């Protein structure tokens, strides 16, 4: 049985006064660790060395703290950072991949569409965050379906894990479906910032998620797909990256 750890690797105090986090999931197998998104790493959690500009830090409302870096939290939990063999990323925004450089030997898994978006002139990405040249494994569209969702099997031995398209926030944003602790989990990344987006179309957070979406029409379609999935498959644990109330 695979053990699950949840790490809060991001602290955000938005200009609205709302708190957001970065829920990075660790799957502990017998001989390795798998990370789902990497949070903000050591280098970028110190203002003097951060690759984030001061204006970006202020605009997002980031609270920089080296103790939040996944590598430090691993050590506090008695986990060996050298055992991180693979990192599955939902997308390449800075608060999801800054920590990649703390695990330079780990393979990075992502959708082909997201990497193509990253290679474009899209200004949302900080391209120095993968300048350490990690091994990137890209996943193309698939005809495989799981509970009504397109799934792309991730090539990590010893665990069932899949990427599923939830485009809109970015043009290649994916959720991650995995089986661990004797149950199925559906990690939706940034497809919503807070779960209330699924039930309250008038919530003010929609203004922010709309502004941050590469394609808002696709974002709304992804929200609709998640809402229907939760209704159809209540036995699956669904959670996102930023909603503190879902932090497990």
Confidence at residue 90, expressed as pLDDT on a 0 to 100 scale: 98
Confidence at residue 116, expressed as pLDDT on a 0 to 100 scale: 98
Give per-residue pLDDT as tens, 62-117: 999 999 999 999 988 999 999 999 999 999 999 999 999 999 999 999 999 999 99
> Under 8 Å CB-to-CB from 153, ≥6 apart: which residues?
142, 144, 161, 162
pLDDT beyond 70 at 1: no
Q: Which CATH class is domain 3-241?
A: alpha beta
Which residue from 101, 127, 114, 111 is spatially nearest to 39, judged by alpha carbons? 101
Give per-residue pLDDT as tens, 189-212: 999 999 999 999 888 888 989 999
Q: Percent of the chain scored above 90 by pLDDT?
A: 89
Q: Note the Cα 78 to chain centre separation in Å.
A: 23
Confidence at residue 14, expressed as pLDDT on a 0 to 100 scale: 76
Mean pLDDT of 222-243: 98
CB of 193 closer than 8 Å to CB of 242: yes
Confidence at residue 89, expressed as pLDDT on a 0 to 100 scale: 98
pLDDT beyond 80 at 146: yes
pTM: 0.96
Q: Percent of the chain scored above 70 by pLDDT?
A: 98
Which residue from 236, 137, 245 is spatially nearest to 181, judged by alpha carbons? 236
More confident call, 206 vs 216: 216
> Under 8 Å CB-to-CB from 165, ≥6 apart: which residues?
111, 113, 141, 150, 173, 174, 175
When the pLDDT of each residue in the chain is averaged and rounded to a whole number, the result is 95
CA distances from 234 to 78, 130, 182, 230 (A): 33, 37, 15, 5
* Residues 197, 7: Cα–Cα separation, whole Å: 23
Give per-residue pLDDT as tens, 23-68: 999 999 988 999 999 999 999 999 999 999 999 999 899 999 999 9
pLDDT band at 153 (very low <50, low <70, confident <90, very high): very high
Confidence at residue 61, expressed as pLDDT on a 0 to 100 scale: 92
* Residues 71, 58: Cα–Cα separation, whole Å: 24
């Amino acid at each position: 049985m695979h053990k699950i750890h949840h790490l809060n690797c991001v602290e955000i105090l938005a200009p609205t006064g709302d708190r957001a986090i970065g829920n990075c999931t660790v799957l502990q197998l017998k001989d390795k660790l798998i990370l789902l998104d990497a949070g903000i790493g050591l280098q970028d959690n110190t203002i003097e060395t951060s690759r984030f500009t001061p204006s970006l830090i202020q605009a997002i409302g980031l609270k920089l703290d080296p103790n939040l870096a996944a590598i430090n939290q691993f050590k506090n939990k008695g986990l060996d950072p050298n055992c991180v063999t693979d990192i599955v990323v939902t997308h390449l925004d800075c608060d999801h991949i800054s920590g990649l450089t703390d695990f330079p030997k780990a393979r990075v898994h992502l959708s082909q569409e997201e990497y193509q978006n990253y290679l474009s002139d899209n200004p949302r990405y900080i391209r120095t965050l993968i300048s350490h040249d990690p091994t990137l494994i890209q996943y193309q569209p698939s005809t495989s379906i799981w509970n009504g969702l397109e799934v792309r099997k991730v090539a990590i031995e010893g665990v069932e894990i899949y990427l599923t398209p939830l485009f809109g926030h970015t043009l290649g944003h994916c959720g991650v479906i995995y089986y661990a602790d004797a149950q199925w989990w559906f990690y939706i990344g940034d497809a919503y910032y807070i779960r209330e987006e699924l039930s309250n179309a008038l919530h003010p957070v929609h203004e922010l998620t709309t502004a941050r979406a590469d394609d808002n029409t696709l974002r709304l379609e992804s929200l609709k797909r998640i809402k229907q999935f939760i209704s159809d498959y209540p036995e699956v644990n669904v959670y996102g990256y930023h909603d503190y109330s879902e932090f497990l």
